[in-house]
Amino acid sequence: MTASKPLAATPPMGWNSWNMFGSAVNEAAIRETADAIVASDLKACGYEYIVIDDCWSKKVGRDANGDLVPDPHKFPSGMKALADYVHSLGLKIGIYSDAADRTCASYPGSYGFEEQDAQLWASWGMDFLKYDYCNAPTDQMTAIDRYGRMGEALRNTGREFLFSLCEWGGRSPQLWGRNVGGHVWRVSGDVFDSWVNIWVPHGPGYYGVGIDVSLDIADNLHEYAGPGGWNDLDMLVVGLKGKGQISGGGLSFIEYQTHMSVWCMACSPLMIGCDVRALDQETAALLMNREVLAVNQDPLGKPARRVKQAGPCEVWKKPLADGSVAVALLNRGATGSDVSVRAGDIGLLDQPKLVRNLWKHEDIAEFKEELVQRVQPHETLLLRISS
Ligand code: GLA
């Protein structure tokens, strides 16, 4: 018998419905997405979980037995049939709820129904739960209690669930997420398709997080993540190009590449948010560069940290299992700049080292003491340096 891989030994990879479909999520979209994940090679690259986010159930409430009911217009074949289909493709499927009476979009939540809902999702064959925190009390103790109840309910089903906490980082889930059974915990509000934070006027009004701000969050929390428990920087906005729920106008190719580079360096889950049924070449290249994905999935599971800052330019370092290091040279400023890395900055000795550009699949240089590279505004060069 082969031992199965422990859950979330490396950051989870997959796709989530929210960014693209929002409340319009439906069975056809999920099936077509699953098909596209197989056909496009995303599956072969490791994207595995297909997660149905908010708005999947009947909004009015539970049935006479107190069960959540999938919206029959959106999911006419029901969730069990959908899960069976996704499983038949060799993929896994996830569902969403909230630790209060109502979800963020005001659909029924699971507070007080943890056991019943977990049993129902298990009976459908769900493999993943994203558990949100809208409409719940803001203090940390209540959050620990409510996530703990759901963590226990999931365990009691006897089915393996990847448990994704989504309280946006406000109650320091990096400190207690593992204890409540969590495998990933969001560390920010919703990331928008924007370089800077943007004000989102609808609903109660809130700030959408820009990629530039996520970089600092990732650096601040790097020490808390590792195999089995990861800082979740939120779903990817790669490929949205201004479409979907969280439009901030879209990013340039270079900015999407920086976004992907940092999510990989930080060991964030990689949950695609764009419409994979219509993948353009640029987006496919960003999502399926195996050398870049290998940085995210490296078995050592050590998130990157910033080791050097010079004005708007930064150097980040991530140790890898084979003794080499992944190094990101980032330029957050508005003009192109030469960025220098000295061997000591990345903890390497002054001996010859080979530098590979991972996005380009090219060995670019050898250096002993100092490497200097030109980095364009908002660009990240992602390198692997080995002695
Ligand atoms: C919150 C979460 C998002 C998404 C929406 C759904 O905003 O942070 O990721 O799940 O709710 O309503």
pLDDT digit string (tens) for 28-69? 999 999 999 999 999 999 999 999 999 999 999 999 999 999
Residue 132 catalytic?
Answer: yes
Looking at residue 5, the DSSP 8-state letter turns out to be P
pLDDT of residue 1: 42
- CATH number of the structural domain 305-386: 2.60.40.1180
How would you list the strands of the sheet with 380-386, edge to edge? 305-310, 313-319, 325-331, 380-386, 353-357, 362-367
CA of 133 to the centre of ligand 1 (A): 9
Render pLDDT for 149-160 as a digit per residue (tens, 0 to 9). 999 999 999 999
Residue whose CA is at the smallest distance from ligand 1 atom 9: 190
Render pLDDT for 251-300 as a digit per residue (tens, 0 to 9). 999 999 999 999 999 999 999 999 999 999 999 999 999 999 999 999 99
Among the listed residues 117, 132, 193, 275, the single catalytic one is: 132
- Spans of all domains in the chain: 13-296, 305-386
Q: Can you name the CATH fold of 13-296?
A: TIM Barrel (3.20.20)
Render pLDDT for 343-363 as a digit per residue (tens, 0 to 9). 999 998 878 899 999 999 999
Atom of ligand 1 nearest to the CA of 130: 10
Atom of ligand 1 nearest to the CA of 166: 8
pLDDT of residue 200: 84
CA distances to 149, 319, 346 from 304, in Å: 32, 7, 11
Return the structure tokens found at 256.
């999407």
Looking at residue 126, the DSSP 8-state letter turns out to be -
Q: What is the mean pLDDT of the chain?
A: 96
CA distance 311 to 375: 13
pTM value surpassing 0.95:
yes
Residues having CB within 6 Å of any atom of ligand 1: 18, 53-54, 103-105, 132, 166, 190
CA of 363 to the centre of ligand 1 (A): 41
CA of 350 to the centre of ligand 1 (A): 48
Q: Comparing 13-296 with 305-386, is the CATH topology the same?
A: no
CA distance 9 to 301: 8
CA of 247 to the centre of ligand 1 (A): 14
